[in-house]
Amino acid sequence: MKPRVSLVLGSGGARGYAHIGVIEELEARGYEIAAISGCSMGALVGGVYAAGQLSAYRDWVCQLDYFDVLRLVDITWSAMGAMRAGKVMSKLSSLIGEVQIEDLPMPFTAVATDLTRQREVWFQSGPLLRAIRASIAVPGIITPVQQNGHVLVDGGLLNPLPIIPTVSVPADLVLAVNATAQTPRPISLEDLLPADQAAEEHAREMEREAEGKSFGGWVKGVRSRVQGMISTRSDEDESAPENTSWSSQTERAWSKLDMMLASFDITQAALAKYKVAGYPPDVLIEVPKSVCGAYEFHRAEALIELGRYLAAQAVDRYEGQRDCTSVPAAPLNSARHPASSADPQRRLPLPLSSPKRHG
């Protein structure tokens, strides 16, 4: 009988591509995914997988280059966000259609945040696309979903690693993927990949440079677009010297965008640590937030391979520990080892107030 896994997929922007590799590795080892809980990019990847279209989604993202990603940026002049994410959602709609969450073959939860009521929202029924769209709405960057008086944004604002929605599902283990992990020092994508795959990623980057698709050129293109997204003619702009160049204004707009994303990243990383400490999963896979920027969606192939590599290491450790503990041992003295019997992981009780569930 296949081991059953409750899968928790965290937020993290482009680093969330690693979730695809984790799922592929679990399936290759014969694990059955019994339930999925996801936030932001984790909700997107998890939802696409639950709808049976992960392979098609993988094929699409792996062929995106810098400028393909840039073309997906649909600017809006809304005061509530810089982008609509309409082009991305149109592509997802063409892949998965108008499926309802309750019709998926496994329990699925997408986590968003209700700004009006300042609480988590769990989507466990209703349109899958609407749940994904709400969960990916990074505050200030992607416009929120407004529904029945609720203003719904990225679930990572309160819960970037939603473990609790999966714990009631009958499964052999809970596996969580934290794509905003903090590390003592910055770690690059190439540092973590096996040598041959790191060399392949380096070769891809060199090829893009040779074709004129350098990251610097891509950033310059994004800067041009975000000038109109988040830098309006405010009092600050009007008071700027007349000789201020358009280029320096663009730099100022990009700095705002970078600061918003970096601030959100830091907050999510800290929150994820608390979630893991409060309810430790059986297996934790950590993708350092330094491996790439949240917006580097052109690096799907390498990030998927990273997810698969880290999953293989984590599952090997889990299976090794399970084999070691399968031999019966003498019972420990519960007075000296109070956390050894009934609650070996010192799991904390569920919160007193439950998040609101949306249908």
Active-site annotation, residues: 40, 154
* Backbone Cα Rg of the chain: 21
β-pair type (150-154, 145-147) = antiparallel
Instruction: Burial-class residue 27 by CB neighbours within 10 Å (0-12, 13-18, 19+).
Output: middle
Q: Is 314 in contact with 283 (CB distance < 8 Å)?
A: yes
Q: Where are the alpha helices (DSSP H) in 1-136?
A: 18-28, 41-50, 54-62, 66-71, 86-96, 128-135
Rounded Cα distance between 307 and 88, Å, is 22
Stated as kind and residue range, the H or E segment containing 304 is helix 300-325
In 3D, which of 316, 45, 194 has the Cα closest to residue 202? Answer: 194
DSSP string, 63-98: T--HHHHHHT--B---TT-SB--HHHHHHHHHHH-S
